[in-house]
C-alpha cells in the first residue's frame, strides 16, 4: 500500500552563537543609518567561529533532531543535504554526517548532497518526499533533509545579506504536516547569483536582477499553480486557502516584497466583477510593477484598473466617508499613514495609524470592496 499523508514530522533549527548587529555594521561600513536595518529589514547577522564550518553546523542540527524527536539512528533510511557551501569538490557533507549513523551499524542510508545555490534544500526536500512515496521505501524508516549554508560576501551592498545556519527536517508517512502532491516549479537560466571561481568563497551577485528573477518566479508559479489545480481538481487557487506562506529569505525585506507580489497576483486573478482585464493586460500590469517596486504604485494600478478617475492626485470613489492616505518614502521603501475621517458625527472623528507594505496590500483589496460606496482618497 502506498504511504499516506507523507510530510513533515519535525523541524530543528540551529544558528551559531556568534552574530553581529546590523546597526553596528552600518556604522562600520559608514553607510546611512537604516540602510541595512530598514532598507533590508535586517537586525543581526550570524557568523561562525574558527572552530565551526558547514559540516559541524550540519552535524549539530542532525544530532539535535534525533535527540529532540527520540529517533534512533537506525530508523533513518535516507539523508540528503542541500547546500552551496563546499569544503571539498568531491566528498559531500552527507558522508560526514554518516558518523552519526555508522557507529550504530546503519550504513544503508540513501541520499547525497544537492548543490544548486539556494534551491538545493528545496530539491533535497522533494527528493526525500519522493523516496517515501516510492517502491524503494520499506514503510519503517524516516528521511532527513538538511539545509545548511554559510553565506559570505565581499565588501559591498550584498554583505549584510549574509549569515549562517542549518535546518533539519524529519520526513515520513502519517505526518502532522502533509505536503500536497500538486506543486509548481519555475526554473530559468539567469546569471543573478553564481560562483564561477572555485578558489573564492565569494559569489558574483547582481542584486537587482536577483530580485526581478525572484518576483518573476512568483508570477509564473502562481499562474502555473492555478492551471494545475483547475486541470486536476477543477479548483481555483487563492491565498484564502492558506493560513501561512513561507518564502525564501535572502533578506527580510524581500519577504515583504514577495508576499505583496503574491497578493497582487491573487487580486488580479480572482473573479472580481470590478476587474475586467485580458490576460495580456494582466501580464503588462505585472511587468510594469516589476520595475516600479513601490507599493503605492501597485495600489494606484488597482484603482485605475477598476475605473477610478485620477484628478489632481486625488482618487474619487463612491462612499459616505473620506479616507486620506498620506505617504512618505524612507529611501526606497514606503511607510504609509492613513487618516480616516468619519462624516456621520457633528465633530469629525479622526483615526490615524501606520501601515506597513503588507498591510497596504490588504488595504488596497479593501478599497476594491468599497467601490459601490462613496469616499475620497488623497495622495499628498
From 24, 248, 281, 352, active-site residue: 248
User: Looking up cell 536595518, which residue turns up?
Assistant: 37
Reference 265, options 304, 314, 308, 302; nearest CA is 302
253 annotated to bind ligand: yes
Check 26, 80, 118, 168 and give the catalytic one: 118
Task: Give dist(CA 366, CA 363) in Å, integer.
Answer: 5
375 is catalytic: no
Cell readout for 294 is: 513601490
One DSSP character per residue, 281-346 reads HHHHHHHHHHHH--HHHHHHHHHHHTT--EETTEEEEE-SSEEEEEEEEETTEEEEEEEEEE-SSS
Active-site position among 12, 26, 80, 84: 84
Is 147 labeled as catalytic in the residue annotation? Answer: no
Any known ligand binding at 141? no
Distant-in-sequence, close-in-space partners of 272: CB < 8 Å, separation ≥ 6: 368
* Cβ atoms < 10 Å from Cβ of 277: 13
Q: DSSP 3-state assignment of 30?
A: coil
Gap between the Cα atoms of 27 and 7, Å rounded: 44
User: What number of other Cβ atoms are within 10 A of residue 12's Cβ?
Assistant: 21
Pair 336, 354: CB distance under 8 Å? yes
Q: Give the list of residues 6+ apart from residue 354 with CB closer than 8 angstroms, or none.
A: 335, 336, 337, 338
Do the annotations mark residue 376 as ligand-binding?
no
For residue 45, give every residue at least 6 positions away whose Cβ sits within 8 Å of its Cβ, in sequence order, or none: 19, 20, 22, 25, 160, 162, 163
Burial class (CB in 10 A: 0-12, 13-18, 19+), 272: middle
Q: Is 9 a catalytic residue?
A: no
Dist. CA 216–CA 131, nearest whole Å: 30
CA distances from 170 to 12, 149, 304 (A): 9, 18, 48
Catalytic site residues? 84, 118, 248
Numbered residues of the known binding site for CoA = 210, 253, 257
* Residues contributing to the annotated binding site: 210, 253, 257
Amino acid at each position: 500500500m502506498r504511504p499516506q499523508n507523507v510530510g513533515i514530522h519535525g523541524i530543528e533549527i540551529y544558528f551559531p552563537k556568534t552574530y553581529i548587529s546590523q546597526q553596528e555594521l552600518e556604522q562600520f561600513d559608514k553607510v546611512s543609518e537604516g540602510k541595512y536595518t530598514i532598507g533590508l529589514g535586517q537586525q543581526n547577522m550570524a557568523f561562525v567561529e574558527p572552530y565551526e564550518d558547514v559540516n559541524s553546523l550540519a552535524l549539530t542540527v542532525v544530532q539535535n533532531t534525533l535527540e529532540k524527536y527520540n529517533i534512533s539512528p537506525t530508523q533513518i533510511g535516507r539523508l540528503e543535504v542541500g547546500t552551496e557551501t563546499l569544503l571539498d569538490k568531491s566528498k559531500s557533507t552527507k558522508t560526514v554526517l554518516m558518523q552519526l549513523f555508522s557507529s550504530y551499524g546503519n550504513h544503508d542510508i540513501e541520499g547525497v548532497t544537492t548543490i544548486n545555490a539556494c534551491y538545493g534544500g528545496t530539491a533535497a526536500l522533494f527528493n526525500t518526499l519522493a523516496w517515501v512515496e516510492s517502491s524503494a521505501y520499506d514503510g519503517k524508516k524516516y528521511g532527513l533533509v538538511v539545509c545548511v549554508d554559510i553565506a559570505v560576501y565581499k565588501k559591498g551592498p550584498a554583505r549584510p545579506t549574509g549569515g549562517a545556519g542549518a535546518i533539519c527536517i524529519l520526513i515520513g508517512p502519517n505526518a502532522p504536516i502533509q505536503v500536497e502532491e500538486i506543486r509548481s516549479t519555475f526554473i530559468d537560466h539567469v546569471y543573478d547569483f553564481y560562483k564561477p571561481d572555485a578558489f573564492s568563497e565569494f559569489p558574483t551577485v547582481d542584486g537587482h536582477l536577483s530580485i526581478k528573477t525572484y518576483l518573476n518566479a512568483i508570477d509564473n508559479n502562481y499562474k502555473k499553480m492555478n492551471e494545475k489545480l483547475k486541470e486536476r481538481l477543477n479548483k481555483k487557487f487563492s491565498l484564502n486557502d492558506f493560513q501561512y506562506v513561507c518564502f525564501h529569505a535572502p533578506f527580510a525585506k524581500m519577504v515583504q516584497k514577495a508576499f505583496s507580489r503574491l497578493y497582487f497576483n491573487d487580486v488580479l486573478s480572482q473573479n472580481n466583477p470590478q476587474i475586467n482585464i485580458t490576460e495580456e493586460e494582466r501580464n503588462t500590469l505585472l511587468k510594469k510593477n516589476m520595475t516600479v517596486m513601490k507599493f503605492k504604485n501597485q495600489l494606484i494600478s488597482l484603482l485605475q484598473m477598476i475605473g477610478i478617475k485620477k484628478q489632481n492626485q486625488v482618487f474619487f470613489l463612491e462612499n459616505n466617508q473620506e479616507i486620506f492616505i498620506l505617504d512618505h518614502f524612507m529611501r526606497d521603501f514606503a511607510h504609509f499613514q492613513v487618516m480616516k475621517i468619519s462624516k456621520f458625527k457633528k465633530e469629525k472623528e479622526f483615526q490615524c495609524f501606520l501601515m506597513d507594505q503588507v498591510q497596504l496590500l490588504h488595504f488596497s483589496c479593501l478599497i476594491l470592496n468599497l467601490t459601490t460606496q462613496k469616499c475620497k482618497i488623497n495622495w499628498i
